[in-house]
């Protein structure tokens, strides 16, 4: 497989009481002379540091005279349970190896041997490596499809086709494992294992035998009929478990290894007779050199194919979006001061944000134990790899524990989350009440004792590291929710507690209703343990700050001004206004449907120091400073920010779907939200022929309307929608009122500023103009949900009088005019518009204000604390209740118009 004959692979076989290793020539899979090394691991030895040291010493003996540039990789045969993909020990209760639980063995080997970063290390169960070795150089080498089994403490198996280990194939059992297939009154391993032989023999003989060898010796002497019959039944059981898989896999050879295979003369005749009785004629061979073939098979894991596959996996996109990442540092080319800024930041002071893994690694030098925790979606493998390479340079001996080892089985997690995911065909679930510890063996993780002997630094890394009760500094790595979704679309991340890749709607549903709820609550619970906050949204680097600095920054902005980082998304109906008016946006995007101006469950706050940028989610602000933000409304909304601003762009685009939103009772009962999706459409800009669909025609017949909608959904045919729904012309600065249960849609040629309550995904679409989404798929229609909520009394002239805001002047002085744009009685927020040429002074009255300059160039916000900050046209910003008062200064030459939303 390899081009150069001087290349070698290291094969390692780790057994219950030994480790052996050797260098292997990949062109013929023969062991390089003089490189075989073997050491016994004392059965009473359970100190993990000593076990690992013995392993490394054995491996070093095999590598003693090797020029590492000729090492193609390392393959390891390892007993299970084990995370073979990531190289993490899950060995539990297996004599001494249970003390290795949670340790990253792959990282130990790489760091202790000081291997190059690109040197692959592969792991596979010992039975798989044995089978692969037999197929490469043993009794199976002349066969195409080989089934290899190992008989000993357990029942191991491997399926090999064309000298490749097969793990996922409908012709074989899951993962190629036979031990867990149903058999008789249990599983196969209940009957094909040393413990079964010993127990059964003692039951029928009345003896107290503790070794299979004693039973085998008794049978071999042909005097103990119990022992003879037991081994015959053992052979029949093996044949029964193999029969269907020999047929489906079309195997042409069986190879048997393991300690019990040494007594094959006792069970093999019965096994062959049983197979022959089922018309199966296949050679069954007993391994002659199991240990050496396991080493060869382990080496065979490192092949040109596996190396090429690794390169392909590494080249796969890690995020899928046309939107650029937040710059790690302030961009050199800054837009005009009056341009809409897509990367707003808050100054944190000098020397408060540090850049790069190297600076973070330097901080580690002062520590002995560290926990690295964080939000879902982080690439923990890369984070560990970057730090590990730096530690290697510094000759530090580092031990890594992985929280993934303590996660419950995926099947158990699926049962936990299922009640919160709603019907399989629904895009909605119910917000969970689960806690992060529910996803883990919490007791074991909480009480984990990190070993420190022989190591410079001990690190536990992964989601939930803070659940460990051992006292140590904690690094929390945040990740913006838009970047989580971009990684989701690329298929580079999965949901909490699972490695499965679900459909994008299903993955997002689990994020929204389970993962984000659980992890946000968890982060708040451990905030007092956090020493460092880091931002790892960049693929090859990281920015970080001490939590004390971030907390101080959050406290400061909670009393002054806040602007979150907006993000932008294309959609089936999206338009071109934002692309044409926001210079920093990617002009190659097909359109922009939404701007997440202030949808705080998914927005972040960016801090800056010395030109370095660091983003944390808005939740951090509400966790620590919600009273400063909301003032007297804190009692009502708690830590939930209640108001949402976003753009809906249909300029040169299409109509939004005909839709409605749930009532308060419905959203609480069905989806677990506290407030419902009450909206308004403020028309920031529009063309002459623009309109808004709102309310029913006076002669609406609900049954007829529903029938028409259902026919359209089934037959994919258009509806004359204005026969049922009113369409009102829209003009700049109009405000359309959309309380829950109201039928509505934004028509083409509008730039809508949507002022709303915070919930944002509960849209019941009834009609979507018979179009497909950007991926060519129909968008979900929810007629039943809609008709469970629609208010058919919102029709006729009542719509114009109640659902289109009638602007009135409520205050006028030398500074400004204040207009009231009344919202509906069901809206809990209200809207004002300030118009002024020079400036305006406003008091918060202990309430939060959400503002936007909707006409003009820019305004300066000035506060008594000496804070001055500029906000440009169409930029959303927050004035917290604790600011008490502020001055808006018009920086343009024409009248400035500023929208202000606040709680009634």
Phi/psi for 356 (5° steps) reads 100, 150
d(CA 400, CA 402): 7
Q: Are strands 543-546 and 354-355 parallel, antiparallel or unpaired?
A: antiparallel
d(CA 764, CA 789): 9
The position carrying tokens 């009929």 is: 225
Q: What is the pTM of this model?
A: 0.92
- Give Cα separations from 736 to 491, 573, 596, 769, 825 (angstroms): 39, 20, 20, 22, 13
Contact 318, 492 (CB under 8 A): yes
Going across the sheet that includes 896-903, the strands are 808-812, 816-821, 829-836, 896-903, 849-855, 876-879
Write down the H helix ranges in 373-409.
380-393
The position carrying tokens 């604790």 is: 882
The neighbour count for residue 828, using CB atoms within 10 Å, is 17
885, 888, 889, 890: CA torsion to nearest 10:
-170
Contact 712, 719 (CB under 8 A): yes
| Tokens linked to 637 | 């909304």
The neighbour count for residue 863, using CB atoms within 10 Å, is 17
| Tokens linked to 50 | 């000593």
d(CA 765, CA 775): 18
10-residue mean pLDDT profile of the chain (904 residues): values are: 65 89 91 91 71 92 84 92 93 75 94 88 94 93 96 93 93 94 95 93 88 91 91 96 96 94 94 95 92 92 67 75 93 74 96 98 94 97 95 93 96 97 94 98 91 85 97 97 96 95 95 98 96 97 98 97 97 97 94 97 97 98 97 97 98 98 97 96 97 98 98 96 98 98 98 98 97 93 97 98 97 96 98 98 98 98 91 98 97 97 98
| Tokens linked to 847 | 């309430």
d(CA 886, CA 774): 44
What is the sign of the dihedral through the CA atoms of 469, 473, 476 and 477?
negative
pLDDT of residue 1: 37
Phi/psi for 672 (5° steps) reads 75, 15
Upper half-sphere CA count for residue 25 (Cβ side, 13 Å): 11
Contact 495, 510 (CB under 8 A): yes
d(CA 551, CA 621): 9
CA angle 20–176–28, rounded 5-degree value = 45
Phi-psi map region of 78: left, alpha, beta (phi>0 left; psi -120 to 50 alpha): beta
| Tokens linked to 303 | 């092949």
pLDDT of residue 157: 95
Q: Are strands 253-257 and 145-151 parallel, antiparallel or unpaired?
A: parallel
pLDDT of residue 2: 38
| Tokens linked to 685 | 């800009």
The position carrying tokens 């459409």 is: 681
d(CA 709, CA 712): 5
CA angle 140–142–145, rounded 5-degree value = 60
């Amino acid at each position: 497989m390899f081009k150069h004959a001087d290349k070698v692979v290291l094969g390692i076989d780790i057994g219950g009481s030994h480790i052996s290793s050797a260098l292997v020539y990949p062109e013929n899979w023969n062991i390089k002379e003089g490189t075989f090394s073997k050491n016994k691991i004392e059965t009473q030895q359970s100190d993990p540091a000593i076990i690992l040291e013995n392993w490394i010493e054995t491996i070093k003996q095999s590598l003693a005279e090797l020029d590492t540039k000729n090492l193609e990789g390392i393959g390891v045969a390892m007993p299970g349970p084990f995370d073979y993909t990531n190289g993490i020990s899950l060995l539990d209760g297996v004599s001494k190896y249970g003390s290795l639980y949670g340790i990253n063995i792959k990282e130990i080997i790489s760091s202790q041997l000081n291997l190059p970063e690109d040197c692959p290390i592969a792991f596979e169960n010992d039975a798989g490596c044995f089978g692969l070795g037999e197929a490469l150089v043993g009794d199976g080498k002349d066969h195409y499809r080989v089934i290899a089994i190992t008989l000993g403490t357990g029942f191991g198996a491997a399926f090999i086709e064309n000298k490749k280990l097969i793990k996922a194939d409908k012709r074989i059992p899951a993962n190629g494992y036979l031990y867990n297939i149903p058999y008789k009154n249990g599983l196969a391993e209940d009957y094909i294992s040393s413990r079964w032989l010993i127990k059964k023999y003692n039951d029928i003989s009345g003896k107290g035998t503790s070794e299979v060898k004693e039973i085998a010796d008794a049978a071999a002497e042909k005097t103990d009929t119990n022992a003879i019959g037991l081994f015959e039944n053992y052979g029949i059981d093996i044949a029964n478990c193999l029969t269907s898989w020999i047929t489906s896999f079309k195997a042409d050879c069986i190879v048997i290894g393991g300690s019990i295979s040494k007594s094959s003369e006792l069970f093999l005749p019965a096994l062959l007779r049983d197979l022959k009785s089922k018309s199966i004629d296949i050679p069954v061979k007993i391994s002659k050199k199991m240990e050496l073939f396991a080493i060869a098979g382990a080496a065979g894991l490192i092949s040109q194919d596996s190396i090429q596959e690794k390169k392909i996996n590494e080249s796969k996109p890690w995020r899928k979006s046309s939107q650029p990442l937040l710059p790690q540092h302030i961009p050199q080319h800054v837009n005009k001061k009056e341009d809409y800024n897509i990367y707003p930041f808050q100054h944190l002071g000098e020397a408060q944000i540090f850049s790069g893994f190297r600076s973070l690694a330097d901080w580690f030098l002062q520590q002995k134990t560290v926990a690295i925790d964080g939000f879902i979606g982080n690439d923990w493998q890369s984070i560990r790899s970057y730090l590990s390479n730096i530690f290697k340079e510094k000759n530090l001996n580092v031990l890594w524990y992985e929280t993934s080892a303590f996660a419950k089985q995926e099947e158990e997690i699926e049962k936990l989350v299922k009640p919160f995911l709603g019907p399989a065909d629904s895009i909605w679930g119910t917000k969970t009440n689960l806690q992060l510890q529910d996803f883990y063996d919490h007791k074991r993780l909480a009480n984990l004792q990190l070993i420190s002997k022989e190591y410079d630094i001990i690190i536990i890394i992964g989601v939930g590291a803070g659940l460990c009760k051992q006292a140590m500094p904690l690094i929390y790595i945040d990740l913006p929710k838009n970047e989580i979704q971009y990684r989701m679309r690329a298929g580079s991340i999965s949901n909490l507690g699972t490695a499965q890749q679900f459909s994008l709607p299903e993955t997002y549903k689990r994020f929204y209703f389970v993962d984000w709820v659980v992890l946000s609550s968890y982060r708040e619970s451990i905030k007092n343990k956090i020493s460092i906050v880091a931002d790892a949204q960049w693929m090859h680097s990281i920015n970080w700050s001490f939590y004390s600095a971030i907390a101080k920054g959050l406290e400061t902005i909670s009393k002054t001004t806040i602007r979150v980082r907006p993000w932008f998304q294309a959609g089936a109906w999206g338009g071109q206004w934002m692309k044409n008016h926001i210079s920093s946006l990617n002009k190659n995007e097909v359109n922009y449907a939404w701007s997440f101006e202030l949808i705080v469950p998914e927005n972040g706050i960016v801090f800056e120091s010395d030109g370095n940028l660091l983003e944390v989610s808005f939740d951090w602000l509400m966790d620590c400073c919600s009273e400063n933000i909301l003032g007297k409304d804190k009692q009502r909304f708690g830590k939930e920010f209640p108001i949402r601003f976003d753009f809906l762009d249909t300029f040169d685009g299409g109509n939004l779907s005909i839709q409605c939103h749930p009532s308060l009772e419905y959203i609480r009962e069905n989806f677990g939200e506290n407030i419902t999706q009450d909206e308004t459409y403020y028309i920031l800009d529009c063309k002459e022929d623009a309109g808004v669909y709102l309310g029913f025609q006076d002669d609406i017949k609900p049954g007829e309307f529903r029938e028409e909608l259902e026919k359209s959904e089934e037959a994919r045919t258009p509806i004359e929608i204005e026969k049922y729904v009113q369409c009102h012309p829209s003009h700049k600065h109009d405000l359309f009122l959309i309380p829950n249960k109201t039928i509505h849609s934004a028509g083409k040629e509008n730039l809508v500023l949507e002022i709303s309550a915070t919930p944002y995904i509960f849209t019941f679409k009834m009609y979507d103009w018979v179009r497909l989404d950007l991926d060519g798929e129909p968008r979900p229609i929810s007629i039943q949900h809609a008709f469970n909520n629609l208010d058919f009394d919102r029709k006729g002239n009542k719509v114009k009088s109640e659902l289109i805001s009638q602007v009135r002047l409520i205050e006028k002085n030398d500074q400004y005019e204040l207009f009231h744009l009344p919202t509906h009685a069901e809206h809990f927020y209200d809207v004002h518009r300030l118009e002024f040429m020079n400036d305006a002074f406003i008091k918060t009255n202990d309430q939060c204000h959400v503002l936007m300059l909707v006409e003009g160039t820019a305004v300066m916000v000035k506060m008594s604390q000496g804070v001055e900050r500029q906000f440009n046209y169409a930029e959303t910003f927050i004035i917290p209740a604790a600011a008490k008062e502020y001055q808006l200064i018009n920086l343009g030459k024409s009248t400035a118009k500023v929208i202000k939303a606040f709680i009634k």
